[in-house]
């Protein structure tokens, strides 16, 4: 018994429709996958471009601020040397003051270079701390020298409550503490600068650096630890926005923190905490 030809045609047509539908589904799947891949690639490209723009912006900020900060101590050195050359004095007091100006300016340049190098080092993949027993009073004396070289400030150094030793990365902590003291010397008006250390209630080493300067607003305090942020106090605009950023990174790497208390017209106090580290075996 023969099948009707029209039935074969209907079945063939149905098969063709099924194959066409299947092909359409496969094509839609491929298009969806490709669209997703293109979307991911576009997002990655957009992120890369944004990262590049951000990097270029940060580099412009960095070079602008570093040139600004280098210019001031270099001008001090040049002025002190020119004064000594033009008006040579045999008076010990004059000689001492000019030498202090030059040393203070050189120390500021050194501190700036240290902060730049340490910031770069901390960005390196695989960066680790190098802890060792450090004499706390040595760190404090090193930072205190910045105040002693300042003719407009009086140092109040409190070492009696400081632990004798602390296991930490001495190089990093020295730079962090010096940055805080240098910040006080640059911004504070004539008056006292207080430097103290103790082991606080949480068992952390705590450094305090306080001044009698013009203080900061809440708005400034909320952004002062951002990279390249100058954190201007009232009408002053000096200062390099890397020092506090580096100090905070050092604190965080040591399991500590840095905070600030300040009121306009009532001075500023920074507290840097450092957790004791384990010595490498």
* 142: containing domain: 132-274
- Averaged pLDDT of the chain: 81
Segment 212-231, tens digit of pLDDT: 988 888 888 887 877 655 55
User: Pick from 122, 154, 170: which residue ends a domain?
Assistant: 122
∠ CA(281), CA(142), CA(209), 5° rounding?
100
User: Pick from 122, 148, 170: which residue ends a domain?
Assistant: 122
For position 159, which CATH number holds? 3.30.565.10
Segment 31-47, tens digit of pLDDT: 888 888 888 888 888 88
What percentage of the chain reaches a pLDDT higher than 70? Answer: 82
Number of domains in the chain: 2
Confidence at residue 198, expressed as pLDDT on a 0 to 100 scale? 97
The pTM for the full model equals 0.67
Same domain, 180 and 252: yes
Q: Find which of 54-58, 113-117, 242-246 is predicted with most confidence, using mean pLDDT.
A: 242-246
Confidence at residue 6, expressed as pLDDT on a 0 to 100 scale? 62
- Mean pLDDT, range 68-94, rounded to an integer: 72
Query: Given phi > 0 = left and psi -120 to 50 = alpha, else beta, which region is 214?
Result: alpha
pLDDT at 81 over 50: yes
The dihedrals phi and psi of 240, each to the nearest 5 degrees, come to -105, 125
Same domain, 195 and 260: yes
In a domain? residue 6: no
pLDDT at 83 over 70: yes
Confidence at residue 234, expressed as pLDDT on a 0 to 100 scale? 45
CA atoms within 13 A on the CB side of 117: 9
Same domain, 101 and 142: no
Confidence at residue 59, expressed as pLDDT on a 0 to 100 scale? 61
User: Pick from 82, 101, 122: which residue ends a domain?
Assistant: 122
Confidence at residue 237, expressed as pLDDT on a 0 to 100 scale? 42
In a domain? residue 281: no
């Amino acid at each position: 018994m023969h099948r009707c030809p029209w039935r074969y045609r209907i079945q063939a047509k149905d098969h063709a429709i099924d194959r066409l539908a299947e092909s359409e589904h496969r094509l839609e799947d491929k298009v969806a996958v490709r669209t997703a891949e293109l979307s991911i690639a576009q997002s990655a490209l957009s992120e890369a471009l944004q990262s590049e723009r951000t990097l270029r912006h940060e580099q412009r900020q960095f070079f602008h601020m570093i040139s600004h900060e280098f210019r001031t101590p270099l001008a001090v050195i040049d002025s002190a040397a020119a004064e000594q050359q033009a008006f040579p004095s045999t008076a010990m007091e004059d000689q001492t003051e000019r030498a202090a100006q030059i040393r203070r300016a050189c120390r500021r340049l050194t501190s700036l270079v240290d902060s730049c190098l340490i910031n770069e080092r901390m960005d390196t993949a695989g960066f680790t701390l190098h802890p060792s027993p450090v004499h706390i009073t040595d760190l404090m004396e090193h930072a205190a020298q910045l105040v002693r070289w300042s003719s407009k400030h009086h140092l109040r150094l409190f070492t009696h409550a400081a632990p004798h030793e602390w296991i930490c990365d001495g190089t990093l902590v020295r730079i962090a503490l010096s940055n805080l003291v240098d910040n006080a010397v640059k911004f504070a008006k004539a008056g006292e600068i207080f430097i103290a250390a103790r082991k606080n209630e949480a068992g952390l080493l705590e450094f305090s650096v306080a001044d009698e300067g013009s203080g900061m607003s809440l708005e400034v305090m909320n952004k002062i630890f951002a990279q390249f942020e100058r954190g201007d106090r009232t009408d002053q605009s000096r200062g390099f926005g890397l020092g506090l950023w580096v100090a905070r990174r050092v604190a965080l790497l040591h399991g500590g923190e840095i905070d600030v208390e300040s009121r306009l017209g009532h001075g500023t106090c920074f507290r840097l905490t450092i957790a004791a580290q384990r010595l490498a075996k």
